[in-house]
Structure 1
Amino acid sequence: MPPAPLTPERILEATEDVLRRFGPAKATVVDVARALGVSHGSVYRHFGSKAALREAVTERWLDQSHAELSAIAESAGPAAPRLRSWLAALFASKRRKAGDDPELFATYMVLVGENSATVDRHIAEMIAQIAAIIETGVAQGEFSATDPTATARAVWDATNRFHDPAYAAEWGREGIDAAFGAVCDLVLRGLAKSA
Structure 2
Amino acid sequence: MADGALTPEQILDTAEDVLRRFGLQKTTVVDVARALGVSHGSIYRHFPSKTALREAVASRWLARVSEPLGEIAAETGPALPRLRRWLERLIRIKRGKVLDDPELFAVYHALADEADAVVQEHVGKLVDQISRMLSDGMVTGEVRFSDPRAMAWAVLRTTMVFHHPAHVGHWSLPEADVDRAFDDIFDLITRGLTPAEA
2:183 aligns to what? 181
Once residues 43 and 75 of structure 2 are traced to their aligned partners in structure 1, the CA distance between those partners, rounded to angstroms, is 39
1:76 aligns to what? 76
The answer to whether structure 1 residue 91 and structure 2 residue 116 are counterparts is no
1:114 aligns to what? 114
SS of 2:144's equivalent in the other structure is coil
Shift of 1:53: 0.2
SS of 1:146's equivalent in the other structure is coil
Shift of 1:193: 1.4
Identity between Structure 1 and Structure 2 (%): 51
SS of 2:146's equivalent in the other structure is coil
Once residues 159 and 121 of structure 2 are traced to their aligned partners in structure 1, the CA distance between those partners, rounded to angstroms, is 18
- 1:161-176 correspondence runs (5 A): 161-174=161-174, 175-176=177-178
Cα deviation per residue 1:84-139 (whole Å; 9 max; x = unaligned)? 00000110010111111111100111111111111000001000000000000010
Aligned Cα root-mean-square deviation (Å)? 1.5
1:145 aligns to what? 145
Q: Structure 1: which 4+ aligned runs deviate by more than 2 Å?
A: 1-5
Shift of 1:172: 2.4
State how many pairs are aligned: 195
Once residues 29 and 3 of structure 1 are traced to their aligned partners in structure 2, the CA distance between those partners, rounded to angstroms, is 15
Superposition TM-score, scaled by structure 1 size = 0.96
Once residues 50 and 187 of structure 2 are traced to their aligned partners in structure 1, the CA distance between those partners, rounded to angstroms, is 44
Once residues 31 and 93 of structure 2 are traced to their aligned partners in structure 1, the CA distance between those partners, rounded to angstroms, is 29
Indicate conservation of the 8 Å contact 2:3/2:42, yes or no. no
Shift of 1:4: 9.4
SS of 2:38's equivalent in the other structure is coil
Once residues 73 and 147 of structure 2 are traced to their aligned partners in structure 1, the CA distance between those partners, rounded to angstroms, is 18
The answer to whether structure 1 residue 44 and structure 2 residue 44 are counterparts is yes
Alignment CA distance shift 1:179-1:99 (3 Å)? same
Shift of 1:2: 7.8
Shift of 1:5: 2.5
| AA of the residue aligned to 1:102 | P
